[in-house]
Amino acid sequence: MGATLDQRAAALDVLSRPLRDLRISVTDRCNFRCHYCMPREVFGPDFEFLPRSALLTFEEITRLVRIFAADGVTKVRLTGGEPLLRRELPRLVESIAGVEGVTDVALTTNGSLLARHARALADAGLSRVTVSLDALDDATFAAMNGVGFKVATVLAGIDAAAAAGLAPVKVNTVVKRGVNDHAVLAMAEHFRNTDHTLRFIEYMDVGMTNHWQLDEVVPSAEVLAQIGARWPLEPVQPTYPGEVASRYRYRDGSGEIGLISSVTQPFCGGCTRARLSAEGKLYTCLFAAEGHDLRAPLRDGASDAQLADALHSIWTRRTDRYSERRSPRSSRGPKVEMSYIGG
């Protein structure tokens, strides 16, 4: 019989990286069709998403979170797809927030439904929220989100989150050459002198459907130079080991930005993240080809100790370093879609 949960030693992978962060996709569905994630030509009206019966229930998710927490996880982030499409999500937030050892429960959303749910999420125990917003003008934003969605609704969601006590909100902008790279300064100007942190993300080769090309990547160094030429910046020390964003503050005291540079400055060496798909597959890398099925043993009657042994075994064998080893050949896959396991 496996060890009980409170007897477990912290999990370290082959490269001595601890398990600290768990990202949980609660649905594979989304109401956007961003071309870097769920391009419309693939995820069209006839695309078959997971049936509801395949999704982990809130009770199953919470049980797995307890097991992950016993192996060292302290931060849990809910993702999708678009997580706010999952009904009664605040109930799951409240359940996860009550798990011993979990100190931070966050949410990544496209913001389309955030104004409606921000207060309930905060009341349920949500710690933080990250909103994806790729431009401030409707034409560019529509070109990015693929469904003609308006910027104003997302901005209203950010305001609602702040009013509910979820400030500062992190705002993520994926920058793609020739599509929204002209919008960088406008984004920076809008979020200067606010409590929110704007983070620019290099366009990544996640999944197989976005037809990623290296020449479409805008390096973070280029973004930094562009903003710094307008408003001088200085580096900020990381707030914790393994922080993915390089932080810079405006020298005039008007806030800070972050740069996530998976392509040009890989940070695999500090990666402490595991990802759980909506149907219960565990992925140890954003760029993984295959996951480990936890739903089957979960529904077949495995004990907590047996599930913990399985998790511990998976993590301690982990060797993932995709971004450090990226090559033209590896970028062609196969890799799991980001919409399936979250960002």
What pLDDT, in 10s, does the model give residues 200-210?
Answer: 999 988 878 88
**Sheet arrangement for strand 256-260:** 233-236, 246-250, 256-260, 197-202, 170-175, 128-132, 104-109, 75-79, 21-25, 273-276, 281-283, 292-293
Q: Which of 71-80, 119-128, 239-248, 312-321 has the lowest mean pLDDT?
A: 239-248
CATH of the domain at 15: 3.20.20.70
With vertex at residue 48, the alpha carbon angle to CA 107 and CA 51, rounded to the nearest 5 degrees, is: 65
Give 171-190 pLDDT, tens digit per residue: 999 999 999 999 999 999 99
Whether pLDDT at 1 is above 50: no
Selection from 58, 111, 63 nearest residue 86 by Cα: 58
* pLDDT for the residue 339: 83
Q: Which domain holds residue 159?
A: 5-341
Task: Provide the token pair at 17.
Answer: 């990286």
Query: DSSP for 284-304?
Result: SSTT-S--EE-HHHHHTT--H
**Type and span of the H or E element at 248:** strand 246-250
Q: Count how many domains the chain has.
A: 1
CB–CB of 13/332 below 8 Å? no
Tell me what percent of the residues of the chain surpass a pLDDT of 70.
Answer: 95
Q: How far apart are the first and last CA of the chain?
A: 36
2: pLDDT strictly greater than 50: no
Residue 7: pLDDT over 90:
no
Q: State the pLDDT at residue 98.
A: 98
> pLDDT tens, 250-285?
999 999 999 999 999 988 999 999 999 999 999 999
Q: What is the pLDDT of residue 5?
A: 61
pLDDT at residue 240 is higher than 80: no
The band of 9, judged by pLDDT with boundaries at 50, 70 and 90, is low
Specify the pLDDT at position 334.
Answer: 77
